[in-house]
Amino acid sequence: MILNTVRGKIISHSVLILVIMMLATLYTGLTTFNLADSVSVLFSNNLILKDLRESLAQTDANLTGYLTSKSSDALRDYIRNSTHLSEISRKLNRDIRNDESLLLQRDLARVVEYYLTETEACVAAKRGRDVQTYSATYDESRQTVDLIRYLAEQTERVFISDSLTAFSGFRSGIPATVATNAILVIAASLFSFMLMIQYSYTLTEPITVLANAARAVGRGEYDAKLPPPGRADEVGVMATAFSTMRENVRKAFDELKSKTEVEKNLMEERLVVLDMEHRLKDAELMALQSQINPHFLYNTLSAGMGIAWSEKADKTSKFLEDLAAFIRYSLKPTFRTVRVAEEIECARRYISLIQARFGERYRFSIEVEDETLEVQTPALLLQPLIENAITHGLGKKEEGGDVRITVRATANETILSVSDDGEGMSPGEIARVLGEDPQEEAATKRGIGLMNVKRRVILSTNGEGNIEIESAPKGGTIVSIHLPGKG
């Protein structure tokens, strides 16, 4: 029978202990959950009202800011906060019930909806330059804001009164619940502990003897005591098998040819290491793609939204076409190589997106020698350099500046360069962004971007390519990528 085996005994004893502990834990958990859930329900409505008041204040401030300045940022913030306010109002009760709190929630939700309708009309009138209408609508919305705040205060007052009354009842029952749970858990733990001690000695004593015999074999001793023969369970089977194995091991050690075996193991480990290094190199090349700054996608999409509001179709269509092409290009595997012509086309798409966002603030020029167009290069090398030139080189210059992209060939290499007339860099900063400063290796986002480009160039060219930076404080910066060979 299964109960006569070690597995059966362990299972039956474990099931008994688990049932005892499960019942104690289940009862404790249910009582604790009921108390916690009750308290959570009492105060969740207060949190909703607090969130509603904050969202109302932000929406009102954004509306006022937009009406006074007609700022697109204020309009965007108004849309976001008014949407959040509408979501909060939908959490309030909408049904007619015989309860003061629920009726106040229903009134509050209807007034919030009316307020949002007024503000949307006000924004529409402002955008249509209907001064009389948006002024009148704005005044009405201010009165509605006061009404919302009054209803929120009344609802919160009812919530607090109900919560305090209910919590008093819960609190009176907590000591008895805690005491009952404690007694039950202690009793279950003591009983389970006694069972475990009794069963552990019965089940583990022969296993301990067998383990001691195994340790003796590890020390080279082959005459240690084994469990007594005649057991019908798994321990008896293991004891018999272990005795046979012990004799076989004694003979095997005499026949082993250690030198051949050790050399074979070393060779296999070396092959595994080489395979892992190759996989690591491929994985690192693939991972470098994820380093493109996600803020760029956010900013460009925001610019696309602004264009869509202000233009009819053509400009927006061009912007989205460039953005889609750039994203499609950048999502391809980074370990691939592309022609310089493709990399330049990607740079042109990126520049188009930048110009859509900043207009004429930054001026770009591209000079490419014809003989370099078919040269193979790692993908996405120029975009991080252009982004760094704009963000770090020219970002602090209100008047903007010039960015120049060149590709030229020498006798032994192809050089891709991105230069700007911005803030420039000190020798220490150059060392940090290229990871040559042992104290502050790649400490900035600019350094992370350049280090990623540098590592991809080195990995893809087996160490023959590199990046160089020429710069001086206030003297602009030239970042050059040197690739072996030419078209």
| pLDDT score, position 443 | 45
| pLDDT score, position 89 | 82
Nearest CA to 478 out of 441, 434, 435, 424 is that of: 424
- pLDDT at residue 210 greater than cutoff 70: yes
| pLDDT score, position 170 | 62
DSSP secondary structure of 41-104: HHHHHHHHHHHHHHHHHHHHHHHHHHHHH--HHHHHHHHHHHHHHHHHHTTS--S--S-HHHHH
Task: Determine the residue type at 477.
Answer: T
CB 339 within 8 A of CB 374: yes
Cα–Cα distance list, 325 to 300, 342, 346, 380, 387 (Å): 13, 11, 8, 13, 17
Treating both helix axes as pointing N-terminal to C-terminal, what angle do 6-69 and 72-89 enclose, rounded to 10 degrees?
A: 130
CB 226 within 8 A of CB 209: yes
- pLDDT at residue 2 greater than cutoff 70: no
The CATH number of 292-484, from 3.30.420.40, 3.40.50.10470, 3.40.50.300, 3.30.565.10, is 3.30.565.10
HEC profile of 235-260: HHHHHHHHHHHHHHHHHHHHHCCHHH
SS3 content of the chain, % helix, strand, coil (to 5): 70, 10, 20
CB 460 within 8 A of CB 285: yes
Beta-carbon-side half-sphere exposure of residue 470 (alpha carbons within 13 Å): 8
DSSP secondary structure of 299-350: HHHHHHHHHHHHS-SHHHHHHHHHHHHHHHHHTS-TTSEEEHHHHHHHHHHH
CA 362, CA 398: separation in Å to the nearest integer?
10
**Per-residue b or e along 318-345, where b marks 16 or more CB atoms closer than 10 Å to that residue's CB:** ebbebbebbeebbeeebbeebebbebbe
What single-letter DSSP state applies at residue 233? S
pLDDT in tens, 397-448: 888 899 999 999 998 999 999 999 998 998 888 888 887 654 544 445 556 6
Mean pLDDT of 354-358: 88
CB 412 within 8 A of CB 485: yes
CA 38, CA 193: separation in Å to the nearest integer?
34
Mean pLDDT of 130-158: 83
CB 155 within 8 A of CB 108: yes
| pLDDT score, position 19 | 78
| Mean pLDDT value across the chain | 77
CA 403, CA 476: separation in Å to the nearest integer?
10
CA 56, CA 463: separation in Å to the nearest integer?
59
Between 29 and 41, where is the model more confident?
29
Residue count of the chain: 487
CA 206, CA 203: separation in Å to the nearest integer?
7
Nearest CA to 479 out of 454, 448, 461 is that of: 454
- pLDDT at residue 16 greater than cutoff 80: no
Domain 2-191: assigned CATH number? 1.20.120.1730
481, exposed or middle or buried, with CB in 10 Å at 0-12, 13-18, 19+? buried
| pLDDT score, position 442 | 41
pTM comes to: 0.41
154, exposed or middle or buried, with CB in 10 Å at 0-12, 13-18, 19+? middle
pLDDT in tens, 95-131: 777 777 777 878 888 888 888 888 888 888 888 878 7
CA 369, CA 410: separation in Å to the nearest integer?
11
How much of the chain, in percent, has pLDDT values that exceed 70? 73
How would residue 192 be classed by pLDDT, with cut points 50, 70 and 90?
Answer: confident
Q: Is the dihedral of CA 203, 206, 207, 209 positive or negative?
A: positive
Give Cα 404 distance to the centre of its chain. 35
CA 153, CA 52: separation in Å to the nearest integer?
11
pLDDT in tens, 273-331: 666 566 545 545 554 544 445 446 545 655 665 666 566 656 776 776 777 767 777 76
**Per-residue b or e along 158-178, where b marks 16 or more CB atoms closer than 10 Å to that residue's CB:** bbeeebeeeeeeeeeeeeebe
CA 199, CA 14: separation in Å to the nearest integer?
10
pLDDT in tens, 199-209: 677 667 777 87
